Structure 1
Amino acid sequence: MRFDSDRLTPPPPPSHLLHPQWDDRTTSSSSSRGDEPDSRNASYRPTHVYSWQITKPPTDFHCSLTEICRGEMRGYRAIKYTLFICCYVLWVASAVLVAVGIYAKIAKEKDVVDTLMLDPALLLIVVGAAMFLITFLGCFGALRNATCLLKTFLGILAGILFLQIAAGVVGYLFTDMVMERTESLMMKAIVRYREDQDLENAIDFIQKKFQCCGVERYKDWSNNVYFECLDTNPSLEACGVPFSCCIRPQNQTVLNTMCGYGMQQLEERTAGLNIFTIGCLEKVVWWAKNNLLLVAGLTAGLLLLKVCMICLAAAQISRIKKVQQLKNAPRRRSERQDSYWRPAFDRDPGGE
């Protein structure tokens, strides 16, 4: 397409489609026909031609930028809001855990035990606070497209996942050591039974649920000062066990909290008529073996949730970088074409 510069001024072309070139050829129609120059234009000069050449888009852009961005943004938004919803649900749940733990801690007496593994309220606060911080990074990073927060969130989850897998492998390889540590921890809980109301309720729940008493046997309760079977023990519960160890009759309507008094003085067969004599550690291991599919399913579900959130965070980071590249690429291409176009267009037509 050619325009006569003396008769018609060419309109500015779209910078992303046209690549203008200057043509120094003269196309004087009057000289070709042998006519005289137009007297109305005293400054008549040979006409110069602007040659507009349509440039072919680069091969890496097979469709328009709008179509590319739309397709990318759909997948990007799906990943973004899926990650945000997952983190938000866990964030709210962690806030509830922290609130319950703080309430339970405030409601306790001042002289209660503050050991992390033996204080359910303190354990809820610590676990809930850690979850709150981690999920907050995921929520805010996903919502605000903050790659720094998303990378931190991804790194923390990957570290936790690695530690959980390592703990599972170590527990499988060193089963005896794990059992000894568990037994020691449960024995400490028995020793502190009366010192923490939450710990007391947790032990009573386990003994009722699994129908057990003590760690290995019912006489383990002698390690507690209130149930210690000594003649010098002034406690009314001496040589006894908690009421949660008692076998409750079906027709019993009133709970007998004194049903475990003096049971440590009886033989196991005789005591077995009124209380559970098997230790809770053995019952818990037996329950885990009989419900292996349930335990494996819960463990796999937790691991899969972490893996999914790690993949979503990594995918969003990748999408953010890709969208930024798509937004910057046309601008660089347009600037490069304009640098070719402007010098040729601004060139002096009458320059010699």
Structure 2
Amino acid sequence: MSGKHFNVHEVGCCIKYFIFGFNIIFWLLGVAFLSVALWAWSEKGVLSNISSITDLGGFDPVWLFLVVGGVMFVLGFAGCIGALRENSFLLKFFSVFLGIIFFLELTTGVLAFVFKDWIKDQLKFFINNNIRAYRDDIDLQNLIDFTQEFWECCGAFGPEDWNLNIYFNCTETNLSREKCGVPFSCCTKDPAEDVINTQCGYDIRAKVELEQKTFIYTKGCVPQFEKWLQEHLTVVAGIFIGIALLQIFGICLAQNLLSDIEAVRESCLFT
């Protein structure tokens, strides 16, 4: 008696659960980012007054946590459920979405290299716009202070950029005690001081430039960022290449799992 022999296809369990584990980490990280963002907004009272979102003149760092957390949450969810339930639609969504992000990152990198001067001007505009709103939001204030301390800089291109802020400008109508000064994050650090002197920048811009160099950083954050980028180019490039390889690896795994699922379904049709 002759019998028919069929090629039995099975979904690879290793790939399936590797994608599931890989994405559940991203999903949990997305939840963490979203939780931090919502907590920050609740502390600032934004959740009780949604219209206050538009009140900030500068950049609210919480938006960064929301966007990154949202993308990671959606991708992680699609990848986890798609792999666990062998759902072709979710796996295709995960693969395409990850591919779009990879393409956007690649395009951004190329455009940033081609339009370096335009990017530099936009960065200056961005920093100056946030200098104006320095006292409007505590998260923004902390972000600017961290940036100036980390890159040992002051303002976009120098301390005079702080004239854009109503509390620090040198105009006669300014009655603030911080008039003609800079934030404490512009001050050079004394290793002997354990406690930060938050008043170290008072009246500093009323002094001559040579004297200012003794007390504050006189280089702007834009040139300091360029200098830092050149000095750490290998590390930065390595990080971006690593992220890109992870994305490509995720897409390949998802496509491999999709092929196994389609092969199993086709084999079921002919049995």
Which residue number in structure 2 is paired with residue 34 of structure 1?
none
Whose RCO is larger (CA < 8 A, sep 6+)? 2
Aligned residues: 266
Percent identity over the alignment is: 36
Query: Which of 206, 217, 220 is residue 276 of structure 1 equivalent to?
Result: 217
Distance in 1, Cα, partners of 2:45 & 2:174: 25
1:57 deviates by: 5.1
1:112 deviates by: 6.8
Q: Does the CA-based 8 Å contact 1:105-1:122 persist in structure 2?
A: no
| Inter-CA distance 112–156: structure 2 relative to 1 (3 Å threshold) | closer
1:248 deviates by: 2.1
Residue identity in the other structure for 2:151:
F
| Inter-CA distance 145–116: structure 2 relative to 1 (3 Å threshold) | farther
Which residue number in structure 1 is paired with residue 254 of structure 2?
313
Which residue number in structure 2 is paired with residue 237 of structure 1?
178
- Give the alignment of 1:11-50 within 5 angstroms: 18=1
Residue identity in the other structure for 1:101:
A
TM-score in terms of structure 2 length = 0.92
Alignment RMSD: 1.9
TM-superposition CA deviations, 1:282-335 (whole Å, max 9, x none): 111101110011100111111111111111111110011112233443x2xxxx
Q: Does the CA-based 8 Å contact 1:113-1:196 persist in structure 2?
A: no
- Give the alignment of 1:191-230 within 5 angstroms: 191-230=132-171
Residue identity in the other structure for 2:232:
N
> Does 1:101 pair with 2:37?
yes
| Inter-CA distance 167–117: structure 2 relative to 1 (3 Å threshold) | farther
Which residue number in structure 2 is paired with residue 50 of structure 1?
none
Residue identity in the other structure for 2:119:
V
| Inter-CA distance 242–104: structure 2 relative to 1 (3 Å threshold) | same
Query: Which of 119, 132, 139 is residue 60 of structure 2 equivalent to?
Result: 119
Q: Determine helix, strand or coil for the equivalent of 2:215.
A: coil
Q: Determine helix, strand or coil for the equivalent of 1:212.
A: coil
TM-score in terms of structure 1 length = 0.72
Which residue number in structure 2 is paired with residue 261 of structure 1?
202
- Give the alignment of 1:167-186 within 5 angstroms: 167-186=108-127
Greater strand fraction, Structure 1 or Structure 2: 1
Distance in 2, Cα, partners of 1:281 & 1:114: 26
TM-superposition CA deviations, 1:122-181 (whole Å, max 9, x none): 221232122211221111111100001111111111111111111111111111111111
Distance in 2, Cα, partners of 1:113 & 1:225: 20
Residue identity in the other structure for 1:96:
A
Greater helix fraction, Structure 1 or Structure 2: 2
Distance in 2, Cα, partners of 1:117 & 1:129: 22
Q: Which runs of 5+ in 1 are unaligned?
A: 1-17, 19-54, 332-352
Q: Highest Rg: 1 or 2?
A: 1
Distance in 1, Cα, partners of 2:58 & 2:243: 21
> Does 1:92 pair with 2:33?
no
1:250 deviates by: 1.4
